[in-house]
Amino acid sequence: LSFFSGIELAPPDPILSLTTAYHADPKPEEYKINLGVGAYRDGQGRPWVLDSVRQAEQQIAADKRNNHEYVPILGTSTYVGLVQRFLFQQEGMPFSTRLLVDEDRIATGQGISGTGSLKVMAELLAKKVKSDSGRAGGRVFIPNPSWANHASIFASSGMEVGTYRYYDPQTQGLALDALLDDLAALLPGDAVLLHVCCHNPTGVDPSDAEWDQILQVVEDRQLLPIFDMAYQGFSHGIAEDLAVVEKLARRMLSSGLIENAMLSQSFAKNLGLYGERVGSFSLITASREEKAKVQSQLKQIVRSMYSSPPCHGSKIVERVLGDEQLYAQWCGEVAVMRDRLKQMRLLLFEQLRNLRCHGPGTTGPTGWEHLVQQQGMFCFTGLSPDQVNALQKQSIYMTSNGRISVAGINEANVERLSRAIAGVFA
Ligand code: PLP
């Protein structure tokens, strides 16, 4: 009898199964449209290796001093220093996040992309904060809906995962009042996960004024904010997309009512380093002394999970963040991705409007205004599961909740896509 005979078959990951179904579809590649996967594609539907990344790789390959030694548990001091400067001390960024760095209150480490960074933070909350202070670390609340992996990451570390209302299907926008009510009902020390920008899966982000209201409740209720930033640069710009982190820092320094926050960040999308698995976690602590203790615990957590992070992607990041010319080039390339996504939203919107197909939206005359109002890589179209099914029969693939990855749209397929969508609304 096998020791594994009692193991049940786990359900397949819905997004990965969608990709499998797409590849299994015998229709020609030019005919099929994949709007499932959350990875950037260029105007020809191909993955894009950024030129800044290629140059950094060439520099690494040519560097005779390069080797494959282990890096420290929390990443090299070069990586940590550059990433901290990138996140909290950028040129042109307001003063408050800089002060947190100057006060030496932030414990930053290299994580295994966004997922691995969130996992390290979940482990610290579940294993250390909960047991040591008894005040926080037990419960985390994520938006409804959220990236499907959020619940698994925190639950598998032993945290209780709840949700707060976020999306209003009536308006295809933010359910602000419900969101504020739900956060106001939480207990001090509860953690609340906030998508910094380009919310996945809805593309709906709070406005500046709405963030103020949300952070006010976070402060009033003494919640622990966990920022997840997987799409930095895809909304307004690399520095601009950090606005809410800056807002929080300002509150921390002025009222002193919030002393802690966590930020997970990924270079998967904005540097196109998906498979390199490079990102970071930053924990804002109350003091330099507290930071040293938190950092020591982070090291223990990482040591037992994967010992130390991988170093190819982090070397690329070091080159891009550490070189003025490469950095400027990268910012331009992020702008190219951001602009293409916005352009594709607009193109789809215009085609649907020209076809006189009335969409499910309620905020404008065409019913499709939400396509251009939402931000980033994903758009919650409002298509029903039946409509999604009907589109899949025409080789157009998206998740059953009607989420499309805007990067999958290009000038060659947008006409067929709009006609097909108009067809399922007829
Ligand atoms: N957080 C959100 C909201 C995401 O959408 C993703 C990826 O899709 C991630 C985190 C983590 O991505 P990665 O681990 O590839 O950096």
DSSP states of 84-147: HHHHHS-TT--HHHHHHHHTT-EEEEEESHHHHHHHHHHHIIIIIIHHHHSSSSSEEEEEES--
What secondary structure letter does DSSP report for 128? I
Average confidence (pLDDT) over 33-56: 95
Q: Rounded to whole angstroms, what are the CA distances from 198 to 48, 77, 194, 217, 287?
A: 20, 30, 11, 22, 31
In the residue annotation, 228 being an active-site residue is answered as yes
Calculate mean pLDDT across residues 9-24: 88
Ligand 1 pocket at CB < 6 A: 38, 113-115, 147, 195, 200, 228, 230, 266, 268, 279
| Residue 135: predicted pLDDT | 62
Which residues, 6+ apart, have CB-to-CB distance to 289 below 8 Å? none
Instruction: Give the pLDDT band of residue 315 (cuts 50, 70, 90).
Output: very high
Q: Tokens for 129?
A: 């904060």
Q: What is the mean pLDDT of residues 115-132?
A: 89
Confidence bin at 150 (pLDDT 50/70/90): very high
> Is residue 211 flagged as an active site residue?
no
Asked, as a colleague might, if the bond just before 143 is cis with ω within 30 of 0, I would say: no
Mutation to probe ligand 1, out of 153, 232, 266 (largest number of atoms < 8 A from CB):
266
Ligand 1, closest atom to CA 228?
1
pLDDT the model gives residue 212: 97
Give pLDDT, residue 422: 96
Averaged pLDDT, 331-357:
97
DSSP secondary-structure letter at 408?
A: G
Residue type, 222: Q
- Report the range of poorest mean pLDDT among 172-176, 252-256, 323-327: 252-256
Closest Cα to atom 7 of ligand 1: 230
Q: Would the pLDDT of 56 be above 90? A: yes
C-alpha distance across the termini of the chain, in Å: 57
Whether 133 shows a pLDDT value over 80: the answer reads: no
Distance 114 CA to ligand 1 centre (A): 5
Return the DSSP state at 266.
Answer: E
The answer to whether residue 5 scores a pLDDT higher than 60 is yes
Write down the catalytic residue from 48, 147, 330, 368.
147
At 113 the pLDDT is 98
**CA atoms in the 13 A half-sphere facing the CB of 151:** 10
Apex CA 421: angle with CA 415 and CA 423, to 5°?
100
pLDDT band at 196 (very low <50, low <70, confident <90, very high): very high
Residue 126 has pLDDT above 90, yes or no: yes
Kindly tell me if the per-residue pLDDT of 48 is higher than 80: yes
Structure tokens at 293: 């203790």
pLDDT digits (tens, 9 = 90+) for 396-426: 999 999 999 999 999 999 999 999 999 999 8
ipTM for the assembly: 0.99
* Higher pLDDT pick, 14 / 319: 319
pLDDT of 257: 86
Is it the case that residue 131 has pLDDT exceeding 60? Answer: no
Q: Whose CA is nearest to atom 11 of ligand 1?
A: 114
Model pLDDT for residues 363-396, shown as the tens digit of each residue: 899 999 999 999 999 999 999 999 999 999 999 9
Q: Work out which ligand 1 atom sits closest to the CA atom of 147.
A: 3
Instruction: Determine the average pLDDT of the residues in 50-65.
Output: 97
- Residue-level pLDDT at 277: 98
Query: What does the pLDDT read at residue 128?
Result: 87
The catalytic position among 228, 241, 247, 315 is 228
How far apart, in whole angstroms, are the C-alpha atoms of residue 76 and residue 33?
41
Check residue 134 and give its pLDDT: 57
Note the pLDDT of residue 90: 78
User: What number is the average pLDDT over the span 191-218?
Assistant: 97
Ligand 1: residue of 153, 200, 229, 380 to mutate (most ligand atoms within 8 A of CB) is 200
Asked about 342 being catalytic, the answer comes back as no
Q: Give the distance (Å) from ligand 1 centre to CA of residue 269.
A: 9
Identify the residue whose C-alpha is closest to ligand 1 atom 16.
114
166-186 pLDDT, tens digit per residue, is 999 988 999 999 999 999 999
